[in-house]
Amino acid sequence: MLSPAEGDLLRRLVAPYLQDGHQYSLHNLAHLCRQVPQERWPEVVGEHFARLREASQGGESAEELLRGVHARLLAEESVSPQLAGAMRYARRVADGLVLAYALDGDTSVRILTDQDVERVGAQELDQAARANLMRVAVRHEEIPVEGGAVLHSLYGDSPFVASQALFLAQAARQATGEPLPDGGALVVVPTRHNLVFHPVGDGSVVDAVNSLAAYALGAYQDGAGALSPRLYWWHHGRLTSLTVIDDATRSFSVQPPPELLRRMKSLVRLAPAGRILTRDTAAAPDLAALGQRLREGLARLAADPSGLADVFAGAVTLAHARCADDPRAAHVDTWDPWALAVQLGTLLFAGGQPQKCVMGEDLAVEVTGEGAVPPADVRGWLDAVYVAIVCREWERVERLCGVPMERLREDDSVDSYLLHWAETLRAYFARQPMDDIVQKLLATMEASMPDALTHGPDDFVNRIDYQPVALFHRILAGDHDAFAKALSGALDEHRAYWGDAPAPRARVALGPLAMAVLARGYEFPVADELPYLPKYLLDGGRIEVIPRP
């Protein structure tokens, strides 16, 4: 940050202060000097070492220590052997970062020693250090970046702002009013005065990785009070460095650990499909635009079937979205995308001869699934099965359940319970022995326990993904009362998850709807008017003939 000549000048100015045998980092002092004319450097250096002398005096009472102590992140490289020997209580919390205690005085900050900790007591000091840290005033700003990610910047004059990364869940809630998702957050602490984080809650996390990594390096190099150039993952109270530094080549790279990679891949698959609650699903969909995109995609399929997966996803989205204005699914404009979703989903996963796909009165396209390889997309396959069940297309359901399980297992973006659930449905519709079906269902339930989840967000899994499994369990048991109670609970969970979000997936509880249709076939008493279950799909009143090959 200084030229060679400036560096020599700074060393000459600090030399008189280094007669006590202590080692001092000149990094922060260099930042201070760079911001003022050289004629003021002697003054800046003198004030800097005066503060250090004052901070090193010690002798405070236990009450004074408790009142002023703060948890403090230190750059690992700044902890000299001499300092480390005086603060054995300190611990390394992540690559490049050390947790210590610091006393915030009127004009200076002093790092506490082992003697200070012993005088007060480690547990009591730790509690006070956290409480005082989380009372530090910070300012919060949202920073949108390219790709749709939003970064949250916490900054302020205090040298303790970045240290709030130690307790990021609390800091994020205090600043934003929102809790962090189960996936935690990506976070950088380039200087003592700021931290920037991005919740690991949707597919925009991929864009946030590069933006945060670039920001951390730049702010670390340019800002006063430099702390760390690394990108970290805060998860369940722990900080894990994603940045790998090659000292030989002085190069940086970002290498997320396998658990985070799995989460990121899952979120990337979930968010664009509108399956989870994100910022993007907070805006009402444009039905006309959705319909037009579906028509255009369907028209292209005649010449280029490679876009079949996207067009199927568009049909499922429009089928849900239409139920905003037509919650009973009474109109033909609502039926068309449901019928299309059945046809396209079956062609996508099970292949087949060309068939006529119709949308409205003026668009009919021959779409083929010949030679198609089913995608490794378990949730897409479940969508196809659910819409086929809702539309009472039992032959198509059986064809979908003939998709090789080996292909679905190639989807590495899902937790294992979804694979077990797919196996359960395949076994059921293939009319395998009931004992085999029950064993597969039990494996599904066991694999969906919270401690077994490493991919999908917990609240989404529990409130949305798992509900069809619970309902199917009641169907197999033949327990009408238990099914009714579970169905009511599933709809409550759907409401609790989506709230008043206008997202298409918020309009219809697709999995519970499919299970309710299945239960009706076994003469379970299911009410006609239930929220999120369109009446004329539930009772079959809107079901029309779907063209076949």
Q: Is the pLDDT of residue 105 over 80?
A: no
Beta bridge partners of 143: 151
* pLDDT tens per residue across span 37-57: 999 999 999 888 876 665 555
Please give the average per-residue pLDDT across 348-352, as a whole number: 92
- Report the first-to-last Cα separation within the chain, whole angstroms: 71
Please give the average per-residue pLDDT across 300-316, as a whole number: 92
The pLDDT value given to residue 544: 86
The pLDDT value given to residue 18: 77
Angstrom distance (rounded) from CA 490 to CA 471:
8
3-state secondary structure of 153: strand
User: Which secondary structure element, helix H or strand E, spans residue 358, and what is its range?
Assistant: strand 355-359
Name the band, by pLDDT with cuts 50, 70 and 90, for residue 167: very high
* pLDDT tens per residue across span 358-409: 888 888 889 987 767 889 999 999 999 999 999 999 999 999 999 999 999 9
Handedness of CA 322, 324, 327, 331 (dihedral sign): negative
3-state secondary structure of 231: strand
pTM over 0.85: no
The pLDDT value given to residue 54: 59
- Count Cβ atoms below 10 Å from residue 123 Cβ, excluding itself: 8
Angstrom distance (rounded) from CA 474 to CA 480:
8
Greater confidence, 108 or 537?
537
Angstrom distance (rounded) from CA 387 to CA 321:
14
Q: What percent of the chain has pLDDT over 90?
A: 74
Q: Which of 281, 291, 293, 393 is nearest to 334 (CA)?
A: 291
Angstrom distance (rounded) from CA 170 to CA 167:
6
Sequence-distant (≥ 6) Cβ neighbours of residue 454 within 8 angstroms: 259, 262, 263, 415
The answer to whether the beta carbons of residues 166 and 99 sit under 8 Å apart is yes
Name the band, by pLDDT with cuts 50, 70 and 90, for residue 83: confident
Mean pLDDT, the chain, whole residue set: 92
For the record, the structure tokens of 214 come out as 């670039």
Please give the average per-residue pLDDT across 310-324, as a whole number: 96
The pLDDT value given to residue 322: 96
* pLDDT tens per residue across span 22-33: 566 677 788 788
The pLDDT value given to residue 549: 66
Read off the amino acid at residue 139. R
Q: Which of 507, 514, 512 is nearest to 392 (CA)?
A: 514
Q: Which of 457, 458, 485, 453 is nearest to 471 (CA)?
A: 485
Name the band, by pLDDT with cuts 50, 70 and 90, for residue 270: very high
Greater confidence, 141 or 18?
141
Please give the average per-residue pLDDT across 79-103, as a whole number: 91
The pLDDT value given to residue 22: 57
Which range is least confidently modeled, 236-240, 367-371, 411-415? 367-371
The pLDDT value given to residue 393: 96
The pLDDT value given to residue 107: 64
Which range is least confidently modeled, 82-86, 152-156, 388-392, 535-539? 82-86
Angstrom distance (rounded) from CA 397 to CA 546:
14
Phi, psi (degrees; rounded to nearest 5) at 463: -90, -25
Mean pLDDT: which of 221-235, 299-313, 479-493 is highest?
479-493
The pLDDT value given to residue 106: 66
* pLDDT tens per residue across span 468-519: 999 999 999 999 999 999 999 999 999 999 999 999 999 999 999 999 999 9
Greater confidence, 491 or 307?
491
Q: Cite the DSSP H helix spans in 430-509.
A: 434-447, 458-460, 467-477, 480-498, 504-507
